[in-house]
Structure 1
């Protein structure tokens, strides 16, 4: 019975701690390709520490600063700013998540940490003739609206040329067929005429 009560108390303490962290956690919204600055709230409570370490989802190390020396962990587009704030450049939706700032205290001191949530919107790439209609869209620099305007004209011109080509081909085909038929009929007539002349001369 005593073990059951102890387990219940531990579970309640863990839930309360998790809820306390979730309620006190700040959240930052950002757009695709922005430069985001995540503050380290732990520096407001702890002034002396051996090093600072930033994590993503508490497990993935990002950057470490110790005695003025920096160590990057597979995150190249990051740096530390004022009061150990984490600066992320050219952020993407995959950068969304929970970040932790960890301060390792000096000997005899107490470590401290703070959490912050980041949410990055999806990247939009829309090419349009009227970019003012989409103020929130990111339009690529290589977009060519003039090409889109001429698409219908080129299609009509292409269909017209194709139709004219078919008409010319039909006229040529009919002319060739007429000549072949005329030549064949003339040859048959000549053959018949020659046979008639041969037979009549044989009777005479």
Structure 2
């Protein structure tokens, strides 16, 4: 009993000091950045400074599911030359990628360049894939993505093309890598400005 009485003041003091910590508001006060959503949730592929996805995530803000999950989500569909989007997507919206704004939302729309990273891409534009402009028309080599005013997200689309069956000695998987650029107000994240896709032939 004497031990309990001796420990009681210590326990009260510990409870007092641990219970009275001030809640601090977490405020992002660095330069705003833009990043590929899928690049932030998926690990970099060995030998590349970015993830190289071979499956198409069916939701944003998560990693690619390579197998069915324990809570009933199916594996994401494999990316092949025969890839077609799942309903309710339209045939023109083959793959939609999300761009995230990291930082406070901006009062004006922000537009960023998107280019094909030729040093890492083995896919041929117009043969294996087609980059789309915001209006849905075909782009050649580059396009833009816009994050609307007072928003944190922008979207860009591209289409997988089917060049036909793989020729003998052909490359079984071709890669296309997209680079997200900066504008005058918002920089592209150095860690997440590339996203790669491997298209099985």
TM over 0.5: no
The structure having more radius of gyration, on CA atoms, is 1
Greater relative CO (CA pairs within 8 A, separation 6+) = 2
Q: TM-score, normalised by structure 1?
A: 0.31
Higher helix proportion, which one? 1
TM-score by length of 2: 0.32
Q: Which of the two has greater strand per residue?
A: 2
